[in-house]
């Protein structure tokens, strides 16, 4: 499988550097048409791709949205020219892996070389809505990796013009294929925040997705991913390593902090959030979040250079693509400012 490519002529003035900095379209916060417009605006200001969040519900009611990611991704494909994919979808509860494979293959056929498939083990706020038993984390991770196996089987068999089948502890696939399939399958990127999952992803996935965390922790994840890749006879350094980074920028430090507390209190919750089922439960927990809870978890500053320095640390770790999410509603102001003063200064 080949890495997503950028068509000739796309943002030529800003494509001279090697680092790809994309825009994180948070569909929990923005209506679908607005999210698409913001993605296009970001590309005009030097952002090179889009990672769109897959949510059935927002984290907290104040965020206010949760559109269907596959519809939005298709619209983003029409309005932009860079790479794009879900960050991340869960091919396990709301959608069978075969349906996720079909959705991904269709986008990859429509937009050759641009679409990648990011998958994760899921959170209850999105997945419990179908009424199934909500398993423990280890079981969810096992389901995710079995789903990756099913999707990979379908991609491989369909490209070869034959049927695939699967019978496992969590999923069954009767003999079938994807009749709409690109010549090159989308890369499957597995989301991880723990070392065991990172190593396992290195063995079976095409690449890794993780979220911003202390640099030493993230470095450990990348090392375990590379270890898993070596165990499967592959070079981890040549495989995509992708980061989504939350931040808060505004014209003043006080406004940046107010945006974080109001719009993204889940970023200050220092505990696992995967078992919480309702945005209204999150809202109750958000009342306990204080400014200091963001320390070490998210950069909150009015100074673009403070953000640049923080992002550069992750660039230096060897990430291939970083997708930025400014948590406030001031998206256009932030995109304009970072396109001018941050993105051009990030170097490998």
Nearest alpha carbon to residue 27 among 6, 53, 1: 53
Question: Residue 216, CB half-sphere, CA atoms under 13 Å: how many?
Answer: 1
Catalytic-role residue among 28, 43, 55, 115: 55
At 236-266, the pLDDT tens digits run 999 999 999 999 999 999 999 999 999 999 9
At 313-338, the pLDDT tens digits run 999 999 999 999 999 999 999 999 99
pLDDT of 267 above 50: yes
At 127-155, the pLDDT tens digits run 999 988 899 999 999 999 999 999 999 99
At 3-35, the pLDDT tens digits run 443 333 333 333 345 589 999 999 999 999 999
Residue 123 annotated in active site: yes
Average pLDDT over residues 47-69: 97
Its pTM surpasses 0.85: yes
- 287, two tokens: 């009342």
Q: What is the pLDDT of residue 272?
A: 85
Residue 43's pLDDT band (boundaries 50, 70, 90)?
A: very high
At 167-206, the pLDDT tens digits run 999 999 999 999 999 999 999 999 999 999 999 999 999 9
Average pLDDT over residues 32-52: 98
pLDDT of 295 above 80: yes
Q: What is the pLDDT of residue 271?
A: 84
Mean pLDDT estimate for the chain: 94
Q: What is the pLDDT of residue 63?
A: 96
Q: What is the pLDDT of residue 270?
A: 85
pLDDT of 2 above 50: no
Q: What is the pLDDT of residue 136?
A: 95
- 205, two tokens: 């996935």
- 98 within 8 A of 173, measured Cβ to Cβ: yes
At 82-136, the pLDDT tens digits run 999 999 999 999 999 999 999 999 999 999 999 999 999 999 999 999 988 899 9
Catalytic-role residue among 43, 123, 263, 337: 123
């Amino acid at each position: 499988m080949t890495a997503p490519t950028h068509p000739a002529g796309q943002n030529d003035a800003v494509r001279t550097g090697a680092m790809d900095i994309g825009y994180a379209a948070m569909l929990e916060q923005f209506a679908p048409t607005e999210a698409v417009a913001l993605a296009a605006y970001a590309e005009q200001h030097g952002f090179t791709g889009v990672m769109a969040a897959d949510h059935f519900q927002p984290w907290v009611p104040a965020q206010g949205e949760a559109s269907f990611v596959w519809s939005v991704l298709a619209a983003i494909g029409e309005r932009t020219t860079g790479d794009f994919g879900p960050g991340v979808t869960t091919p396990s509860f709301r959608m069978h892996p075969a349906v996720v494979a079909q959705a991904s293959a269709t986008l990859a056929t429509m937009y050759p070389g641009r679409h990648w498939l990011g998958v994760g083990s899921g959170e209850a706020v999105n997945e419990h809505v179908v009424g199934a038993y909500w398993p423990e984390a280890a079981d969810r991770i096992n389901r995710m990796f079995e789903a990756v196996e099913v999707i990979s089987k379908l991609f491989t068999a369909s490209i070869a013009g034959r049927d695939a089948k699967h019978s496992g502890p969590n999923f069954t696939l009767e003999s079938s294929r994807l009749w709409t399939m690109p010549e090159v399958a989308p890369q499957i990127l597995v989301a991880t925040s723990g070392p065991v999952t990172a190593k396992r992803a290195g063995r079976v996935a095409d690449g890794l997705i993780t979220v911003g965390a202390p640099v030493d922790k993230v470095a450990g994840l990348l090392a375990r991913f590379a270890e898993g890749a070596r165990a499967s006879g592959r070079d981890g350094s040549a495989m995509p390593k992708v980061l989504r980074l939350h931040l808060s920028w505004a014209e003043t430090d006080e406004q940046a902090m107010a945006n974080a507390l109001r719009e993204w209190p889940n970023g200050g919750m220092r505990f696992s959030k995967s078992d919480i089922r309702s945005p209204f439960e999150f809202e109750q927990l958000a009342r306990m979040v204080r400014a200091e809870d963001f320390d070490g978890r998210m950069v909150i500053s009015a100074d673009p250079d403070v953000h640049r320095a923080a992002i550069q640390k992750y660039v230096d770790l060897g990430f291939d693509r970083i997708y930025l999410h400014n948590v406030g509603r001031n998206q256009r102001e932030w995109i304009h400012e970072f396109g001018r003063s941050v993105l051009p200064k990030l170097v490998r």
